[in-house]
Amino acid sequence: MKTILITGFDPFGGESVNPAWEAVKTMEGYTDGDYKVVTQMVPTVRYKSVETAIAAAEQCNPDFILCVGQAGGRPDITIERVAINCDDFRIPDNAGNQPVDEPVVADGPSAYFATLPIKNIVNALHQAGVPAKVSNTAGTFVCNHIMYGVLHYAAQKGGIKVGFMHIPYLPAQVVNKPDQPSMAVETVRATLETIVHVLAHGESYEAQNITYTTPHE
C-alpha cells in the first residue's frame, strides 16, 4: 500500500489549539484505494519542524507529503504554490527563535514550487463546495520554513511530491477575535479527504460530498 504523510503544527502564538493538528490527527489510518494516511504532529520550531517531518518520512516512505498550517485571518483553504528560502519571523517560534532575513537552507535555491497538483486540488474542493484558492505566499514563518525544507529534502531524495495547505482558525479561536473568519474542523477533515482522493486517483477523482460550515462572521 502506498502512503500519504500529512503533518500538522502544534499550537503557537498564545493559542491553546492549532486547527492544523486538530484536523490532521483525525486522518490517521484513513485509506483511499491503495493509499493510506500517516499523520505527524510537528513543533512550531524553526529547524525542528523540518527534522520531525523528515524523520516521519524516513519511517513511512511516503509517495506524497502534505503539510498543513494555520493562517489566522484567511477565510479560505489556501493551497500554497511556492516556498521561499527566507526565514523572517514576525513573532518568535515556540523555542524563541526569531530570525530576520536568514535562509532556510544555506546555499539552497531561492524558492521551490509545490509538486502536488495544486490546481486539481482547488478544482476538486470547489466541486465539493469548499472555498479554496491557490496562494502565492506561504509567508516567512515556520509554515514557509517547513514547506521549503521538506521540498528541499524531496528534491534530494527524489520520488516524493510535496505541498502545503493553510487553513483558517477554528470557531472557538475567534470568540474573542471580532470579524475573524473560521472553519469547522469537520470541514477541514473533509477537505483533507478530498485532497487524499485527488492524490490517490489523479484525474479520475470524483467530487466528495462535503457538508460545508459557513465561516464565522
What distances in angstroms separate CA 125 from CA 28, 160, 204, one per listed residue?
A: 21, 23, 14
- Whether the CB-CB separation of 129 and 210 falls below 8 Å is answered with yes
| Interatomic CA distance for residues 204 and 96, integer angstroms | 45
Q: How many beta carbons lie within 10 A of that of residue 48, not counting itself? A: 17
Residue 203 has pLDDT above 60, yes or no: no
Q: What class does CATH assign to 2-204?
A: alpha beta
Q: Where are the domains of the chain?
A: 2-204
Quick one: average pLDDT of 126-141?
A: 97
pLDDT of the residue at 211: 44
Q: Which residues are catalytic?
A: 80, 143, 166
Residue 208 has pLDDT above 50, yes or no: no
Q: Which residue has the higher pLDDT, 213 or 140?
A: 140
| Interatomic CA distance for residues 52 and 105, integer angstroms | 16
Q: How many beta carbons lie within 10 A of that of residue 204, not counting itself? A: 9
| Interatomic CA distance for residues 1 and 82, integer angstroms | 29
pLDDT of the residue at 202: 80
| Interatomic CA distance for residues 9 and 11, integer angstroms | 7
Q: What is the pLDDT of residues 2-44, one digit of tens each?
A: 999 999 999 999 999 999 999 999 999 999 999 999 999 999 9
Q: What is the pLDDT of residues 138-163, one digit of tens each?
A: 999 999 999 999 999 999 999 999 99
